[in-house]
């Protein structure tokens, strides 16, 4: 097209000096002959077609913006300018990726499945995996399916939705506290994967867990439990406490009492963990930045010998004292809980005053109390809290202090001294009365560990 055939507006554009910019995109209006603004190429508010004047590296051309809107034509012009700028191109590509990731919707069921697979890959305990499955698959997905409309996408779990679900939880405060923590862990995993921006469960305050009072068995209660192991198994009355089941139950209770192991660890204890010097491997202590070191606990010789000679059942694996090696740890613990229930019932039948309150209600009695007995007896004997914490395998001494601080003998003595000093200042008699045998807590078991 010759210059004579171009409209007046384009003649004005071509008359611009090329030195203004080596690259430029300008929006202008190509007016209709009937337009009252004909001759004004930069008039924006008429409905005539908008065009783009492109100048690049000494060459120019005009293209239609394919719109009658000046704003849309400017957007098209900016796109062309950005296409000439490599940095802007990269920036736009990154922005497009961000928008794509934000618009990507993950199904809640897929997120739960991926998380549970990751928990299994990390070789978490079966009991831990079962708790996550219960919380996420049965409770979270089950609750979301009952909503109107059903909650299907992970992005739909905002703060208010998660709060409504949490308010529907039954159970004790400790149960709800632990479940809330598992939900936080799951949603934090989703944040790490880039599926959601924030963790809505962290914006909801967790209910405070109940702090159960530490209640160890007394010496008399422990002796009664050991005595009950001789009579709880009534299937063979001729042996009178020397049956395989009786000997295994007796050895199990003594290991719990004298090692401080948890019920599952004692039930699945392997033979190679008991050394010739009667020390028992408890756990591998992890020290940050250093090599880990094993922690051993010394057991009384008679307890260690009884454990070495414990009879095997028809299913016991030769590498373990009590375990078959095939059943799940949770199932093994459940089995021992049932056995302990029978032993406790027999002990209560023979010594009701030891295991019943004055109103006839049963006193607490469960396997973990033997671990508490282990810790409390050492603390009452004057062992430092830090060493008891190490024997128990706690990750921090603060955990031990939380549960066992009232039993620390040295602290009790300092407190009693402070009270008596205050009494003396107030003119109150500070003579210490002789403690009666019925009210005095034994510092250590006086009898042999194998006594009944």
What's the chain's average pLDDT? 84
CATH 1.10.150.130 fits 108-203, yes or no: yes
Tell me the whole-structure pTM to 2 decimals. 0.61
Mean pLDDT of 399-413: 80
Q: Say which range, 34-43, 344-353, 431-440, has the weakest mean pLDDT.
A: 431-440
Nearest to 370 by CA among 241, 231, 266, 295: 266
Maximum separation of any 2 CA atoms in the chain, in Å: 127
Nearest to 363 by CA among 188, 209, 212, 221: 221
pLDDT digits (tens, 9 = 90+) for 291-321: 557 888 999 999 999 999 999 998 999 999 9
The pLDDT value given to residue 71:
92
Residue 348 near residue 232, CB atoms below 8 Å: no
pLDDT band at 92 (very low <50, low <70, confident <90, very high): confident
pLDDT digits (tens, 9 = 90+) for 251-267: 999 999 999 999 999 99
Question: Looking at the predicted structure, is the pLDDT value of residue 437 above 50?
Answer: no
The pLDDT value given to residue 85:
82
Mean pLDDT of 333-346: 94
Nearest to 321 by CA among 278, 267, 279: 267
CA distances from 452 to 167, 195, 241, 254, 306 (A): 50, 61, 11, 11, 14
Distance of alpha carbon 183 from alpha carbon 203, whole angstroms: 12
Q: Which long-range contacts (CB under 8 A, 24 or more apart) does 302-306 make?
A: 302/448, 302/449, 302/450, 303/254, 303/255, 303/258, 303/449, 303/450, 304/274, 304/278, 304/280, 306/247, 306/250, 306/251, 306/254, 306/450
CATH 1.10.443.10 fits 219-407, yes or no: yes
Q: Which residue has the higher pLDDT, 57 or 4?
A: 57
Neighbours of 9 (CB within 10 A): 21
CATH 1.10.150.130 placement within the chain? 108-203
Neighbours of 228 (CB within 10 A): 26
The pLDDT value given to residue 432:
58
Distance of alpha carbon 228 from alpha carbon 345, whole angstroms: 9
Q: Say which range, 69-78, 84-93, 407-416, 426-435, has the weakest mean pLDDT.
A: 426-435
Mean pLDDT of 2-29: 59
Question: Looking at the predicted structure, is the pLDDT value of residue 452 above 50?
Answer: no
pLDDT band at 104 (very low <50, low <70, confident <90, very high): low
Residue 263 near residue 333, CB atoms below 8 Å: yes
Q: Which two tokens stand for residue 319?
A: 């590498």
The pLDDT value given to residue 298:
93
Please state the φ and ψ torsions of residue 294, each to the nearest 5 degrees: -75, 150
Mean pLDDT of 47-67: 90
Question: Looking at the predicted structure, is the pLDDT value of residue 137 above 90?
Answer: yes
Distance of alpha carbon 448 from alpha carbon 106, whole angstroms: 63
CATH 1.10.443.10 placement within the chain? 219-407
pLDDT digits (tens, 9 = 90+) for 372-388: 999 999 988 888 889 99
Up-side HSE of residue 191: CA atoms within 13 Å toward CB? Answer: 14
pLDDT band at 209 (very low <50, low <70, confident <90, very high): confident
pLDDT band at 93 (very low <50, low <70, confident <90, very high): confident
DSSP letter for 310, please: P
Pairing between β-strand 49-56 and β-strand 59-64 as defined by DSSP bridges: antiparallel
Distance of alpha carbon 188 from alpha carbon 203, whole angstroms: 12
């Amino acid at each position: 097209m010759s210059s004579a055939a171009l409209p007046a507006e384009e003649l004005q554009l071509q008359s611009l000096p090329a030195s203004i910019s080596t690259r430029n995109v300008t929006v202008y209006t190509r007016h209709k002959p009937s337009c009252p603004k004909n001759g004004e190429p930069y008039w924006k508010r008429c409905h005539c077609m908008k065009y783009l004047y492109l100048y690049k590296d000494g060459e120019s051309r005009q293209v239609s913006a394919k719109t009658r809107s000046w704003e849309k034509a400017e957007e098209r012009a900016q796109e062309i300018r950005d296409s000439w700028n490599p940095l802007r191109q990269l920036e736009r590509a990154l922005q497009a990726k961000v928008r794509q990731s934000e618009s990507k919707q993950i199904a809640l069921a897929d997120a739960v499945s991926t998380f549970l697979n990751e928990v299994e890959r990390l070789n978490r305990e079966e009991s831990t995996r079962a708790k996550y499955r219960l919380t996420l698959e049965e409770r979270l997905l089950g609750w979301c399916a009952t909503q109107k409309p059903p909650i299907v996408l992970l992005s739909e779990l905002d703060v208010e939705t998660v709060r409504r679900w949490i308010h529907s939880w039954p159970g004790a405060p400790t149960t709800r506290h632990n479940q809330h923590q598992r939900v936080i862990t799951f949603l934090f995993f989703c944040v790490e994967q880039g599926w959601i921006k924030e963790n809505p469960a962290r914006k909801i305050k967790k209910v405070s867990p109940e702090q159960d009072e530490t209640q160890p068995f007394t010496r008399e209660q422990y002796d009664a439990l050991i005595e009950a192991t001789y009579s709880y198994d009534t299937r063979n009355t001729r042996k009178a406490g020397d049956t395989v089941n009786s000997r295994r139950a007796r050895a199990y209770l003594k290991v719990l009492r004298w090692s401080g192991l948890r019920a599952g660890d004692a039930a699945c204890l392997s033979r190679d963990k008991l050394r010739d010097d009667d020390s028992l491997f408890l756990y591998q202590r992890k020290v940050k930045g250093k090599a880990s070191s094993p922690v051993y606990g010394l057991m009384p010789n008679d307890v260690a010998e009884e454990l070495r000679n414990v009879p095997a059942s028809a299913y016991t694996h030769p590498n373990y004292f009590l375990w078959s090696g095939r059943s799940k740890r949770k199932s093994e613990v459940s089995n021992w809980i049932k056995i302990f229930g029978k032993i406790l019932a027999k002990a209560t039948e023979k010594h009701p005053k030891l295991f019943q309150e004055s109103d006839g209600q049963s006193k607490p009695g469960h396997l973990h109390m033997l671990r508490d007995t282990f810790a409390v007896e050492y603390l009452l004997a004057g062992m430092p809290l830090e060493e008891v914490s190490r024997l128990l395998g706690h990750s921090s001494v603060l955990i031990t202090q939380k549960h066992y601080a009232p039993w620390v003998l040295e602290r009790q003595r300092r407190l009693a001294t402070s009270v008596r000093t205050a009494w003396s200042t107030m003119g109150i008699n500070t003579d210490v009365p002789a403690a009666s045998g019925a009210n005095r807590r034994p510092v250590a078991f006086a009898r042999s560990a194998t006594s009944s």
